[in-house]
Structure 1
Amino acid sequence: MKAKPDTVAGKKFVIIGVHGWFPAKLVRSVMGEPTGTSAKFCEQTAKSLQQYFEQEHDLVLPMNCMTLIPLQWEGKVQERVEKLYSFLVDNPATLDALQSADAIFWTTHSQGTPVSAILLHRLIQNKIIQLKKQPICLLAMAGIAHGPFASLKGSLIVKYFEADAARELFEFMDPSSEISEVFRQAMAYILQQGVKTILVGSMQDQVVPLYSAIMVATEHPNILRAIYIDGHVYSPDDFLINLIVFALRLRNAGLSDHGLLLHISDVLAGNLYAWEGGHSTIYEETSVYKLAPHYLFDTSPLGGLLPNHQENHTTTRTSTMVEAKSELFHTKVRLNPYYLTWAMRGIFDDVRVIQVFGDQLDRLRILFDQWHPTSSKLREIKFRLEPIKARL
């Protein structure tokens, strides 16, 4: 008779979902629906957590060990923070769940990212959440850290549905705006306090550039950066895809990408007027949610949640109580298109990159030679990179 698997009974997990900003119905096919996404985030995170314990530790995580809290409220960032904070602390059930949790998973999307960071800042500062005994993972999908694509400010759709919440999104392009400063301070605080943060951008996002989603101006060992790629555009041997993934690896290793991710972002913009996936399909992909338990439990420090199991360190990076390094990033309407050449040259001349990722540089050289893009935008990218082909 087969023995019953062990369970994680006795441990308490809180899973919080926070949706982004939503315009009128006409463009919700691109942005997603407001009422169901927070609940979807909670449900998908719960499933990924159960799968993690079953597949990695042969443990069963009962549903009654998890409290799912989908947070729903529309409006400007600070308005949402006030409403959602009151809901969490004024509701005895949610307050008790937060204070008694052994671990907290927080999943958010788009405008919900600054909302979540500011909320977490307040909850930690007011000792509602205590990170010394409650490890936290924040999974931010297509977060709007540095604003939307600058070109959208003059689009007919944005103008037609312009509202306070929509206008505020563009304030994140200016680091001196009040909301940008509040968000930047909140992120610096929660990172220093030990919140493990996963920033996932979407390769064909119609609204949020990759540099914004991965918070390109901020560096801290508690940040893990990743990219979601729609299946219909993915190819394992595509040069551009491999280049972007490589640049993200550099950032995750604490090395410089020499500005490549910033200057490649405009090329990746999806079409706001046509269905291409990207901004909303990112939260339909189950693999995105699986990053959270692996990052929280499989990287140092584990948090002492599983005392009877060995730590499985999948990375050499160590989360420390260090200050976040953040530059005052000013979003420009148009970047110098020829900066890409110098970014690539900087990468291939970087001694540290050569020492750690030399084999991957060789693979990029081969893929570049085999790359034959068909679109005018991508042919232009290859043209810009041709002068450094000898270095590749």
Structure 2
Amino acid sequence: MGKPESPQKSSVERSQSTNSISSLLKNRFKKNQQDDNKQLKSPQTDIAETPEQDGNNSQTTEEQDLTLEQYRSQIKEQSGTSQEDLSHAQDGFLNRWGLWGQEQQSSWSSWIGTFGRQTATQSHTNAASNVAESEVRGWWGWPWSAAANENSKDQASLRTREDERVKAAVDQLSVLGPQIQRTTSWAFETHYGNKGGELSIFGTATSNSPVHCESLPKTQYENQEASIDKLEETFSDVVPDISYNYRDLTRRTKLRLLLSKICPVPLVPPEMHLYHDPTFNEPLLGKTETKKALIISIHGFLPFKMIKSLIGQPTGSATIMTEKITDCLREWGRNHGVNMDIETISMDGSGRILERVNSCLFLLLDNWLDSILNCDYLFVASHSQTVPVAIHVISRLITAGYIDNIEKAGLINISGVCLGPYKGLDSKLSVRAYTPFENDVLMELFDFQDDETVQSKELARHIEILLRKNVKLTFVGSMDDQFVPLYSSMCAHLNHPNIYRCVYLKNNTPEFLRQLVTLVMIVRNLNYDDHELLVEINSYLQGTLGAGSHGNIITNKNVYRVGIANILETSNPVAHHRLNVKPINVKKFCFNQYHLPWCLRGFLQEVLKLRSFPTRELLQNLFDAYRQWDPQSKQHKDLKYIIEVLGKSPIGELCMD
């Protein structure tokens, strides 16, 4: 892994240090810092005491019913500052939020530390030794026996105080919900095979002093989403498979890649994609090695009214993702002779993206930095709006040097809003239906549709930091997602050998669409151009309310199997590759049905360039599947009509070798 470059720091990055997270926690703000009058109420306040806010009373918009799109435009017109100035001001605000309350937390730690588990364990050891000594001394040991009794009383008192802390933390977590109009985050750390785990809640006394809980209670966020529908476990396919998309890395291929790297004249084709490691084709019988794996799952809750009106199903939780990826990782270890020592950190919450980054990075993860430093494999799973959160967090860990010694690291990004939600959804959201805090959360998602916003630029910059460190990125999306389009979850505007794309398909997906989407993913994974076919075709694939797969996708184990295989079974790039960014401004993009046939023709030409694939056979199967396709929905009928040329023209007329 090469040393990261040092690009010019942006407004969002000015608040982070390149040394370590601990140093960030210990630093104090300068007294002459600006905007002191905008400091928030101390997050040390008990969450249970936070008053519930009425969205209608706190709303400051005009009497007329504005849509979210109109509200965003109005804010831009009224604001006299530029995007960079806004990001700089927000950066100072976020820093205060992420590091707010250190004085209070240090005062908490001064007396809570006396009731810690280490002190209790030490007291227990001393008490046991004193009792043993008293038994040896006989009747004359009564003074030592009295001391042992005192230690036993202290130990019981410590257990009582620890139980009170646990009960307080559980109560604080159970009341977390939409009524708390600020960013919330909490983490639950467990070891596979152990009962219970450590709970840390941002903004409480457990932020830097986790408590041990037997189980994790459900929050009001989860209870609200459960009232919509039940999250169903699915067993559908995720295509394409790693071993099918990437051919095995042979000695001849290694020699060619080395020559392409050192030869100044391009005599051989350069490296365009990764390869499958052939050592993983067969199980390693009789050989077992132990690897320490750390799984970090990050999930976020969106405003409930939006989920109910646009998604129509629960979005799950970080615990669900943790359980699925843990099972898949243990399964992979059994098949390949690797004994996995698994530790998991489930991080959940709600709020603005960058505030979630600061709370997750500066306080919650700081409790388990030793686990990050000592692991062999690092897996990070995220869903929907937390995909940018996960990318930012791991990027800053790389900058601080915390994953330098990790053998393999990768992210599994599920239905991420890399290019925002579907175009036009913001015009369906009324500003008056949401509180100002919820409007800010929603507007931030739609800012990813514009490639000129700070959010979009920072996302691309942090992804480049990950790729320079040889972190493998797996983008998984659902073809019938009702909230996030496929080109957004696939991060279609970025190209790099370390990026792998795959699609979750329901069992009832038409065969033509299955073959077409699979071919598009193969072409993109091998670093060829799809001629924007993925962007143009997606308007005909959007799922319906409640019937899409935006939430159910996280219950499918095949999603995590593909991500694990991409992280552990693929080769490393021989040469350094820069991130190729092809800007896509969804807000300005003109979706035209007459563009689709030409995009399809250009894509078919790219398919013929594939090596080690029976391209003519694949195209013939695609044409045959189109002729047999009998669409039922209006969207699919329109799509078949637009690309009717596939049924009337032979392959030779559309594709020229």
Per-residue CA deviations over 1:320-357 (Å, capped at 9, x if unaligned) read 53111012210047511121101111123345149842
The separation in 1 between residues aligned to 2:329 and 2:426, in whole angstroms, is 39
CA shift in 2, pair 1:391/1:146, >3 Å: farther
Determine if the alignment matches structure 1 residue 377 to structure 2 residue 657.
no
Equivalent positions of 1:162-177 (< 5 A) are 162-177=438-453
Structure 2 counterpart of 1:336, which letter? N
Normalized against structure 2, the TM-score is what?
A: 0.52
SS in 2 for 1:72: strand
What is the alpha-carbon distance in structure 1 between the residues aligned to residue 372 and residue 465 of structure 2?
Answer: 19
3-state SS, counterpart of residue 426 of structure 2: helix
Q: Give the match's secondary structure for 1:138.
A: strand
Select the residue among 358, 370, 374 that pairs with 1:96.
Answer: 370
Q: Deviations over 1:155-198 (max 9, x none)?
A: 14787345211111000001111111111111122122211010
Q: Check 1:102–1:88 CA distance in 2 against 1; reply closer, same or farther (3 A cut).
A: farther
Instruction: Give 2:649's aligned amino acid.
Output: A
For the pair 1:280 / 2:554, whether they are aligned, the reply is no
Question: 1:36-115 counterparts in 2 under 5 A?
Answer: 37-55=317-335, 57-61=336-340, 65-91=341-367, 94-115=368-389
CA distance in 1, matches of 2:396, 2:558: 30
Contact persistence 1:202–1:282 (CA under 8 A): yes
Q: Say whether the 8 Å CA contact 2:321–2:555 is kept in structure 1.
A: no
Q: What secondary structure does 1:262 align onto?
A: helix
- Distance in structure 1 (CA, Å) of the matches to 2:312 and 2:366: 31
Aligned position for 1:312: none
1:49 CA drift (Å): 0.5
CA contact (8 A) 2:318 2:346 kept: yes
Q: Following the alignment from structure 1 to structure 2, what is the Cα–Cα distance between the partners of residues 204 and 287?
A: 17
Amino acid of the structure 1 residue aligned with 2:626: F
Residue matched to 1:305 = none
Aligned residues: 359
Alignment partners' CA distance in 1, 2:385 and 2:546: 21
Change over 3 Å in CA distance of 1:157–1:373 after alignment to 2: farther
Provide TM-score, normalisation by structure 1.
0.85
Indicate the residue corresponding to 2:536 in structure 1: 263
2:412 maps to: 139
Structure 1 residues 281 and 33: alpha-carbon distance in aligned structure 2, compared to 1, 3 A threshold = closer
Other-structure match for 1:360: 618
Q: Secondary structure at the match of 1:73?
A: strand
After TM superposition, the structure 1 = structure 2 runs for residues 1-392 of structure 1, keeping only pairs within 5 Å, are 7-9=288-290, 11-24=291-304, 27=307, 30=311, 37-55=317-335, 57-61=336-340, 65-91=341-367, 94-130=368-404, 133-156=406-429, 160-161=433-434, 162-231=438-507, 233-235=508-510, 238-271=511-544, 274-301=545-572, 318=573, 320-332=575-587, 334-350=590-606, 351-353=608-610, 356=613, 357-388=615-646, 389-392=648-651
Match of 1:304 in 2: none
Give the secondary-structure state (helix, strand or coil) at the position aligned to 1:27.
helix
Q: Distance in 1 between matches of 2:350 and 2:557?
A: 25
Is the CA contact 2:531–2:599 (under 8 Å) kept in the aligned structure 1? yes
Cα distance change, pair 355–286 in 1 and its aligned pair in 2 (3 A): closer
Query: Residue 17 of structure 1 aligns to which amino acid in structure 2?
Result: S
The 1:67–1:320 alpha-carbon spacing in structure 2 relative to 1, beyond 3 Å, is: farther
SS in 2 for 1:182: helix
Is the partner of 2:349 in helix, strand or coil? coil
Query: 1:59 deviation in Å?
Result: 4.1
C-alpha distance in 2, partners of 1:212/1:191? 19
- Higher-Rg member (1/2): 2
Aligned mates of 1:212, 1:32 — CA distance in 2? 20
Q: Partner amino acid for 1:291?
A: V
Alignment check: 8 A CA contact 2:482 2:549 kept? yes
Secondary structure in structure 1 of the residue aligned to 2:467: helix
Higher deviation after alignment, 132-141 or 337-346: 132-141
Partners of 1:277 and 1:205 lie apart in 2 by 5
Q: Which moved more, 1:107-116 or 1:286-295?
A: 286-295
Deviation at residue 374 of structure 1 after TM alignment: 2.2
What is the rounded CA distance, in whole Å, between the counterparts of 1:5 and 1:158 in structure 2? 63
Mapped partners of 2:618, 2:585: distance in 1: 32
Do the aligned partners of residues 172 and 362 (structure 1) sit closer, same or farther apart at CA in structure 2, a change above 3 Å counting? same
For 2:174, the equivalent position in structure 1 comes to none
SS at match of 2:609: helix
**Shift of residue 87, structure 1, vs aligned partner:** 2.8
In 2, Cα distance between equivalents of 1:157 and 1:279:
22
- Cα deviation for residue 293 of structure 1 reads 2.0
- In structure 1, stretches of 5+ residues that fail to align are 302-317
Q: Relative to structure 1, is the Cα distance of residues 319 and 115 closer, same or farther in structure 2, using a 3 angstrom cutoff?
A: farther
Identity fraction in percent:
29
Superposed CA RMSD in Å reads 2.4
Which runs of 5 or more structure 2 residues have no equivalent in the other structure?
A: 1-284, 652-657
